[in-house]
Structure formats: structure tokens, C-alpha cells
A = this chain, B = another copy of it.
């Protein structure tokens, strides 16, 4: 077919082909009201003819934007994406940006090498905005972004971090989610409740527990709170140990749906019926939640909407909007495990 076009057509060529000046060609292609319909048509035809696409570098220099937004990930990617819920979040971002001309790219910055490169490109202004997916760590980069004044959106709740009025923040209300889960247990009449959470140092875990306690108070003593990992296996192990310790429980609040699947599996194995003997509530509304038996009652975290929101705010900030803080609401999804 066509030979590989090593040299891309420039605006000048389009202008010449259409018999107008560069400036007119530019305005015509950008649909300026100052150009006549007829000229626009001619220029567009010429552009199509030579297969013209405005060069990003020239355009970026002129308009002061690269139209690229970096999604900053400071953990190893495999850690992040082993939880498929995160791709929901990303989908939200791309969904929101799909109507704009902005392109999201993922920037891994887990090693210090990577962070240095990232820092360099931030300083060079390679990106118009940054969405930080896991702002708990990597504060050095945040500091850089702050100094440079790069529009930045933090996803996650940072307790009293120093950037509140410089960066935007989007997060789901984990405490609210915890309250919803605990409330559901209470309404169901469950009294002896155990919580199988994720890692103790995770901020979301802390908040969710606070939510549980806001409802259950003393009826959820420390010895009934188990910290573990996020996986199904962790839930399984934790439940086995519970049973071994002969702790009576008629309700288990889980830190994630994956944990919940493990918990349910362990109960099944022990001949304990869910939800007849014991109620289980998950967290996340992971895709497996609806598929397991019994279908899992869980707390839905609006990750996709969070992504959309983050991207939307990033665009607003690029256009000069002030930083904002947005709290997304959790939702109880009633299924069969309660």
C-alpha cells in the first residue's frame, strides 16, 4: 500500500494545498468563527487529502498543553491490578476522558529510579495533570507536584495531609460503608459479630472498622477483630482459626469480597450454613460477589464513578478550577448471604 510516511505533513503543506496562509488553515481546522464556511471546506478537504494530523509537539508548545494525563501508581502494578476492582477505576478515568482529547497513561513509580524519571518529566511539564491512585506513599513526588503547581487529584483519604488546599481529593466514604454493613447485621438481628479485615495499616481498613464500631460499639470487642491480607485464602485461614478457637459468631463482616469468599468456603466446609447460621457481608462488590453461592451481600464502592470524577476534576483543574474534595457514597447491595 502506501509507503511508511517517514515525514508527516505539516500545516504549511495543508495551507499551500488549500491556497491559504498557515494562520487561516489553522483557524479553519479549529473551526474559528472568523473563517468563511467555504474556506473551511477547502482547508478541511486539503487536510484530509494529505492526511494531516497536527503535530503534538508543535501544538503543545503553542497551546501550553500536552493533552496527556498521568495516572501515577506508586505501588507495584501487579499488586494493584491483582485486585480487578481497580480496573473499574481506570475504566472510569478513560470513560470520562474519552469525550475530551486527553489521553491517560499509567506511570509506575514504585522504585526510586522510576520516581526520579517521573519527577523529571513532571518538572518538564510532560503531563497536564496527575491522578495519584495511591497517595499514601511517595510524598516526595507530591511535594514536587505541589511546587510545580501541576493540577493533581489524589484518590484516597489522607488524614490531615498537608496538601488539602493544593490538590483535589476523591475518595469513597469507608466509614459510611462500615456503618452500612454493620447496620445490616444489626437489622438482621445478629449479635455476635466478628470482623475479618485487611492489613491493619491500611487507611481504608481503619475507617471501615470505625464505621462498624459506630454502630456496634462494645459488641465488637478487639478480640473479635482480625487483621489479615485481602485474599480469599486469608479469609479461609482466619475462619478456620476462629472455628478452632471455638468462638461463637452469627455474623462476619469482611474487609473485601475476596476475603468473604474464603470465609464462606470455610463455613461450608465446617457444615455451618450461610446465611442460616451465620451472616456474611463483604466489601467492594467485586465481580465474583454475585456469582458465588450464596450470592454475597456486600458494600459497593463506586470505583468507576470515582475514576470518572477524578478525571473530570483533573480536566477542571487544567482549566483553572480550584482544588476540591469529593466524597463518594457507599451503597449496600442486598443479596443472599445476610
Is A37 engaged at the interface, CB distance under 8 Å to the other chain?
no
Interface size class of A (residues with CB under 8 A): 35 or more
Query: With A2-B147, A111-B94 as given contacts, are A57 and B53 in contact (CB-CB < 8 Å)?
Result: no
Contacts of A107 in B (CB 8 A): 103, 105-106
Give which listed residue, B55, B81, B97, contacts A125 with CB less than 8 A. Answer: B55
Q: Is A270 interfacial (CB 8 A cutoff)?
A: no
Contacts A64-B57, A87-B78 given; indicate if A166 touches B4 (C-beta within 8 A): yes
Interface residues of A in 50-102 (CB under 8 A from B): 53-61, 64, 66-68, 70, 76-78, 80-84, 86-87, 90-91, 94-95, 97-98, 101
The verdict on A90 contacting B108 (CB below 8 Å), with A77-B81, A97-B117, A148-B5 known, is: yes
A8 interface residue (CB < 8 Å to B): yes
Distance (Å) between the CB of A327 and the closest chain B CB? 25
In the complex, what residues of B have CB within 8 A of residue A83's CB?
78
Is A291 in the interface zone, CB < 8 Å from B? no
Judge whether A16 is part of the interface by a CB distance below 8 angstroms. Answer: no
Q: How far is the CA of A78 from the CA of B77 in the complex (A)?
A: 9
Contacts of A114 in B (CB 8 A): 94, 98
What is the chain B residue whose CB lies nearest that of A150?
Answer: B4
Q: Kindly name the residue among A77, A80, A82, A111 whose own CB sees the greatest number of chain B CB atoms within 10 A.
A: A77
Contact call B108/A94, Cβ cutoff below 8 A: yes
Is the CB of A121 closer than 8 A to any CB of chain B? yes
Within 8 A of B (CB), among A149-171: 149, 166
Q: Answer whether residue A295 sits at the interface, using C-beta atoms and an 8 A cutoff.
A: no
A1-36: contact bitstring with B at CB < 8 Å (1 yes, 0 no)? 010111010000000000000000000000000000
Of A8, A57, A77, which is in contact with the most chain B CB atoms at under 10 Å from its CB?
A57
Residue A245 is within 8 A (CB to CB) of chain B in the complex: no
Q: How far is the CA of A61 from the CA of B62 in the complex (A)?
A: 10
Give every chain B residue within 8 A of A77 (Cβ-Cβ): 77, 81, 87, 90, 106
What residues of B have a CB within 8 angstroms of the CB of A124 in the complex? 53-56, 59
A66–B90 Cα distance when bound, in Å, is 24
Residue of B nearest to A82 (CB): B82
Distance A260 CA – B146 CA, assembled complex (angstroms): 48
B87 touches A113 (CB 8 A): no
Cβ-closest chain B residue relative to A70? B105
